[in-house]
Amino acid sequence: MSRVCELTGKGPMTGNNVSHANNKTRRRFLPNLNDVSLMSETLGRTFKLRISASALRTVDHRGGLDGFMAKAKPADLSASALKIKKDIEKAQAEA
């Protein structure tokens, strides 16, 4: 299981640990990923996703999963999230 957010594409970054003596050693900054279930009002069901805490705040800010997917760039989304986005758009076009 890779350490990448399914909604934003946020992944590990690299940097340095810097000691008091100014010695530098490489380290990784991992995203704060959480397993969550998000409800889609349009489709009427929940989806289990592994997303970052910042993505979860953005989903809440935009009014839920449907609002987030409306503004999400397809390049950032995972394959499963792209399918969810397509299903939501299709259901909204029919309604």
pTM of the predicted model as reported, rounded to 2 decimal places: 0.88
Domains within the chain, CATH numbers bracketed: 13-94 (2.30.170.40)
- Which tokens in the block code for residue 63? 């009014």
How far is 73 from 77, CA to CA, in rounded Å?
7
| pLDDT at 83 (0 to 100) | 97
pLDDT in tens, 2-40: 899 999 999 999 999 999 999 999 999 999 999 999 999
Measured in whole angstroms, the distance separating CA 62 from the mean position of its chain's CA atoms is 13
Give the Å distances, CA to CA, from 24 to 28, 31, 47, 56.
13, 22, 42, 33
The pLDDT value recorded for residue 2 is 87
One-letter amino acid at 89 equals E
Give pLDDT tens digits for 43-93: 999 999 999 999 999 999 999 999 999 999 999 999 999 999 999 999 999
